[in-house]
């Protein structure tokens, strides 16, 4: 199939199943593909425009190299697990303790997912209800606040539970809750919005203090962090990142947290798959050292969009009350998909995949550095790295991102430490290899991708704003010849490593 086919007009009256059964011999047919196409055909009959956009998204993902570090390609069974009647069931509470009747099947699914997660990660407890990583972090924050502040204050007042407090007593407890301190890596150093960024609720429900990487090396300075933590004495110390390319010593982070009585919360949303796949071991595996660990279930874990919390038994009871403290009704269909993804992650094949992600990330970074591109920290130990496009090409992140997308490479711009261009235009591009590794690519293909990126960006110049003729901070351009050459090289790669080859849609 030509990866550049535009299916928008073709899907108006198409029979996806008829086309599939006609062209694919019976012995080669896939039940997952048949189920996917059948669901697509049902959607087309009910709402053609939505079916068209699903097909167009498939075409887009087949025609563009996905290098966004936080994206991946989930399996068709994982996707199909989300499209069923489980979505119709309300199930507030947790397994065996619901606020609605008729939750037996949801209980079984949630229990299965949680038990698989505990086994994969070696955790004491797993909570699989959060709808996203941000939700998981909110539940974790409030679990810590309730466990360490609220419950102790209620006990000190001689009351059995929160409902027994007078309005004046409750207000005093509430003020204590919202005046605690949280400390996480700054956004500019590679942290996440939910780690105390001023425009996020995490800095509004608590006092927020950030720590930075060393401005010269781009690395965490544990001695400097130890000093800052002793000065600030946060209730919660967050370790984890969305754009830090090196390993974190979680044993050292726990030691620092313990020195001031902080709760260590690790956000492993980006690298959960590397933990599950046994790439990150010893001090670089957060599970033995953190009180609570949050994660998404997509990204390197290659599951459905969703979140999860792993914790010690100390926090089990309060974490399980994520609903009602933060969450609304669980999403049983997504928990079912999480269970499938966890089952996949428990396989030996997944461990091979996880190790290959890092090999590919290192190969891609090395391929760029070999051509003189500045990669922050001089490389990577995980699935991602940051490229300084200002120093390397005289472009800002927004310009480089838009031009790379034109050339059919999908990346995201990212701030770098002390970024003069701020968090919107940025000076960096973040790249990751989970998705290209899922396609089956290896270091040889990473070197080709590095060459495509370099050959394109070295020819780039700032675009022009049509209305004013002024240089554009959003667009960059190259000659048609350079752009078409990059596009062809991307297309050649993707034809060799097609996405969901079992899905025949033309």
Half-sphere exposure of 112 toward its Cβ, with a 13 Å CA cutoff?
17
E strands within 119-232? 125-127, 181-185, 207-211
Domains annotated on the chain, with CATH:
16-55 (no CATH), 85-345 (3.40.640.10), 348-496 (3.90.1150.10)
Give Cα 340 distance to the centre of its chain.
18
238 vs 198 pLDDT, higher one? 238
Considering the candidates 5, 10, 53, 90, report the single residue annotated as catalytic.
90
pLDDT over 90 at 267, yes or no: yes
**pLDDT at position 223, please?**
97
For residue range 235-254, what is the model confidence (pLDDT) as tens digits?
999 999 999 999 999 999 99
Please state, in angstroms and rounded to a whole number, the distance separating the CA atoms of residues 348 and 335: 23
pLDDT tens for 393-442 read 999 999 999 999 999 999 999 999 999 999 899 999 999 999 999 999 99
Mean per-residue pLDDT of the chain: 94
- Give the pLDDT mean for 66-92: 96
What whole-number distance in Å separates Cα of residue 397 and Cα of residue 422?
10
Total-model pTM: 0.94
For residue 184, pLDDT beyond 60: yes
Q: What is the mean pLDDT of residues 147-170?
A: 95
DSSP 148: I
Residues 6+ apart with CB under 8 A from 506: 1, 5, 7, 10, 19
DSSP string, 191-216: --GGGT-TTSGGGTSSEEEEE---TT
Q: Is 295 a catalytic residue?
A: no
DSSP H or E run through 264: strand 263-267
361 Cβ contact list (under 8 Å, min separation 6): 380, 382, 383, 384, 385, 432, 433
pLDDT of residue 398: 97
Catalytic residue among 296, 377, 380, 491: 296
90 is known as an active-site residue: yes
Residues 413, 422: Cα–Cα separation, whole Å? 11
Q: Tell me the torsion sign for CA atoms 480, 482, 487, 489.
A: positive
Of the residues 66, 148, 246, 299, which is catalytic?
Answer: 299
- Checking if the pLDDT of 1 tops 70, the result is no
Contact call for residues 430 and 411 (beta carbons, < 8 A) = yes
Predicted pLDDT of residue 310 = 98
Catalytic residue among 41, 135, 153, 267: 267
Q: Residue 470's pLDDT is what?
A: 85
Q: Is the pLDDT of residue 334 over 50?
A: yes
- pLDDT of 14 reads 65
Catalytic residue, from 53, 56, 181, 305: name it: 305
97 phi and psi angles, rounded to 5 deg = -150, 75
Would you state the structure tokens that stand for residue 387, as one six-digit string?
Answer: 């490229």
Residue 164 annotated as catalytic? no
Residue 505 has pLDDT above 60, yes or no: yes
CB atoms under 10 Å from CB of 230, counted, come to 11
- Is 254 tagged catalytic? no
Give tens-digit pLDDT for 292-329: 999 999 999 999 999 999 999 999 999 999 999 999 99
**CB contact set of 177 (below 8 Å; sequence gap of 6+):** 145, 149, 150
**Active-site choice (71, 92, 232, 455):** 92
Identify the pLDDT of residue 412: 96
Interatomic CA distance for residues 197 and 186, integer angstroms? 7
Q: Is 278 a catalytic residue?
A: no
pLDDT score, position 7: 47
Whole-angstrom distance, CA of residue 322 vs CA of residue 309: 10
Residue 413 annotated as catalytic: no
pLDDT reading at 212 higher than 90: yes
Give residue 13's pLDDT band: very low, low, confident or very high (50, 70, 90).
Answer: low
pLDDT in tens, 436-491: 999 999 999 999 999 999 999 999 998 888 888 888 899 999 999 999 999 999 99
CB 478 within 8 A of CB 456: yes
Residue 142 has pLDDT above 90, yes or no: yes
* Close Cβ partners of 348 (under 8 Å, ≥ 6 residues apart): none
């Amino acid at each position: 199939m030509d990866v550049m086919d535009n299916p928008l007009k073709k899907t108006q009256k198409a029979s996806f199943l008829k086309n599939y059964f006609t062209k694919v011999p019976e012995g080669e047919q896939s039940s997952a593909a048949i189920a996917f196409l059948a669901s697509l055909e049902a959607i087309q009959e009910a709402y053609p425009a939505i079916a068209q956009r699903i097909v167009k998204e498939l075409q887009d993902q087949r025609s563009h190299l996905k290098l966004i570090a936080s994206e991946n390609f989930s399996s068709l069974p994982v996707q199909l697990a989300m499209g069923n009647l489980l979505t119709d069931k309300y199930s507030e509470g947790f397994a065996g303790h619901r606020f609605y009747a008729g939750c037996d099947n949801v209980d079984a699914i949630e229990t299965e997912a949680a038990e698989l997660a505990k086994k994969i990660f070696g955790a004491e407890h797993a909570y699989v209800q959060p709808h996203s990583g941000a939700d998981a972090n909110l539940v974790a924050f409030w679990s810590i606040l309730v466990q360490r502040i609220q419950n102790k204050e209620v006990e000190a007042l001689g009351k059995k539970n929160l409902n027994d407090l007078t309005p004046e007593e409750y207000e005093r407890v509430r003020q204590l809750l919202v005046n605690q301190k949280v400390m996480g890596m700054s956004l500019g150093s590679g942290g996440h919005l939910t780690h105390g960024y001023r425009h996020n609720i995490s800095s509004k429900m608590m006092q927020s203090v950030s720590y930075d990487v060393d401005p010269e090396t781009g690395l965490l300075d544990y001695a400097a962090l130890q000093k800052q933590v002793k000065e600030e004495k946060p209730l919660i110390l967050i370790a984890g990142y969305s754009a830090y390319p090196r390993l974190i010593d979680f044993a050292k982070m726990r030691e620092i947290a313990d020195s001031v009585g902080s709760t260590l919360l690790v956000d492993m949303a980006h690298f959960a798959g590397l933990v599950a796949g046994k790439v990150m071991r010893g001090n670089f595996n957060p599970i033995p050292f953190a009180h609570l660990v949050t994660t998404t279930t997509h990204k390197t874990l290659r599951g459905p969009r969703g979140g999860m919390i792993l914790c010690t038994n100390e926090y089990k009871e309060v974490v399980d009350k994520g609903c009602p403290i933060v969450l609304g009704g669980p999403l049983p269909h997504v928990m079912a998909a999480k269970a499938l993804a966890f089952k996949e992650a428990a396989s030996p094949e997944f461990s091979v995949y996880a190790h290959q992600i890092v090999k590919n990330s290192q190969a891609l970074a090395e391929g760029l550095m070999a051509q003189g591109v500045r990669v922050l920290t001089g490389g990577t130990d995980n699935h991602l790295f940051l490229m300084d496009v200002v120093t390397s090409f005289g472009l800002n992140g927004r310009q480089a991102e838009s031009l790379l997308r034109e050339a059919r490479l999908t990346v995201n711009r990212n701030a770098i430490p002390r970024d003069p261009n701020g968090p919107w235009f940025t000076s960096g591009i973040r790249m990751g290899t989970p998705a290209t590794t899922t396609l089956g690519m290896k270091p040889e293909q990473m070197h080709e991708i590095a060459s495509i990126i370099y050959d394109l960006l070295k020819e780039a110049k700032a675009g022009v704003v049509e209305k004013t003729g002024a240089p554009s901070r959003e667009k960059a351009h190259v000659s048609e010849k350079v752009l078409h050459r990059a596009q062809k090289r991307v297309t050649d790669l993707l034809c060799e490593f097609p996405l969901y080859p079992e899905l025949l849609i033309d």
